[in-house]
Chain A
Amino acid sequence: MYLASAEQTASVRIYADGYRLSDECLLSAMRHYLDQWYRDYRSQLSNNRPETSIRLSDPPSAEWLAVVRRRINDSILPQDFAGENDGRWLSEDAARAAVAFFEATSDVLPAEPYIYSSRRGDLVAEFKADRGTLTSIVSPTFVLLFAVIDGVPVEKRLPLTDNTMSLRSEVANLSDLLRTVRHGALAATA
């Protein structure tokens, strides 16, 4: 303990032995802890997290999803099928990938798809929208999206991974372009 003289009592302080903290140090320490608290607090807000780290456990479904899922499941090549696939069947892997694709993206796709099998047994889904068409081909490992928007083709090849957010984002972007009315095309009314 440090005892001051009478004229110094206005600033009497108690310090631990051999230790003294200046006003600058105290302010600096307070600022440090406040900054850290603010950073931690800020990082907990969901709108500051990268979109890819946000997972939807159960994305919303389009009304047609259940019907399309049933059509796909009923078209899986039977295991005892001996003949040549004449286009009526999907490979089991492609069918499962297609169901996963539609479950992840049905709410952002333009409409109910017309589905059929490619020559390789992958699923082809055809969509029609106001400004063009979208064809998606779903294989066990990737999805190929081919949109024709106002006559201009756009192709995207996306890997099928656990990260459905990026897939949804790409599909939503193309669907928006297919749906959006060009402002320049609007006619003026009298």
Chain B
Amino acid sequence: MLAGAQDQPSFAGLDFRHFEETRDPEVSLDRLGQSGIDKAVVRYLRPRADKAGTTFRPPKAFNGWAVVRARLLSNPPHGPAVPVIASPIPGQGLDENIYHAHVATPDHFGHYSMALHLRHLFTSPGSSVYRIDSDPPTQP
């Protein structure tokens, strides 16, 4: 929260910054399962997500995933398609992520437009938020 805005009421929606990618036109995703959330995949990804949080300054706690079906990204009702492209990350131990994927920012999109588009899709009907302390997934 902003340093001077500690007194403002809380925000019920998803924070826009979760979808902001400033370094790369490719936005990273995790594939959580073939047709739904696979618990084994979650167990595999969780320590990797926790580790990724430690790379921020200050470190960030990992709270969970915003979840949407891949076909909504490749065939959205509004706006450009952002098909999911599997892009496993090779490596050792927690540096490896075999469920990594990404979506590419369309050519005519700026990074703000891409983030807003993704957030809209990840809060559309059928989407959910999978919190690591909650089961089953909750609606955003």
CB < 8 Å neighbour of A119 from B9, B10, B20, B124: B20
Is B79's beta carbon under 8 Å from chain A?
yes
Q: Bound complex: CA of A90 vs CA of B113, how far in Å?
A: 20
Contact B112 A90 (CB under 8 A): no
Contact B116 A116 (CB under 8 A): no
Is B40's beta carbon under 8 Å from chain A?
no
Q: Which residue of B lies closest to A72 (CB)?
A: B4
Contact B4 A75 (CB under 8 A): yes
Is A148's beta carbon under 8 Å from chain B?
yes
CB < 8 Å neighbour of B5 from A71, A128, A137: A71
Is the interface on chain A under 10, 10 to 19, 20 to 34, or 35 or more residues? 20 to 34
Query: Main secondary structure on chain B at its contact with chain A?
Result: loop
Q: Bound complex: CA of A73 vs CA of B20, how far in Å?
A: 24
Contact B58 A71 (CB under 8 A): no
Contact A153 B4 (CB under 8 A): no
Contact B78 A152 (CB under 8 A): yes
Is A70's beta carbon under 8 Å from chain B?
yes
Residues of B within 8 A of A144 (CB): 112-113, 116
Is B22's beta carbon under 8 Å from chain A?
yes
CB < 8 Å neighbour of A120 from B9, B10, B22: B22
16 intermolecular pairs with C-beta atoms under 8 Å apart: A70-B4, A71-B5, A72-B4, A74-B2, A74-B3, A83-B57, A87-B1, A88-B1, A114-B10, A115-B2, A118-B16, A118-B112, A126-B11, A126-B13, A128-B12, A148-B120
**Cβ-closest 8 pairs across A and B:** A74-B4, A75-B4, A71-B5, A75-B2, A114-B11, A88-B3, A146-B116, A119-B20
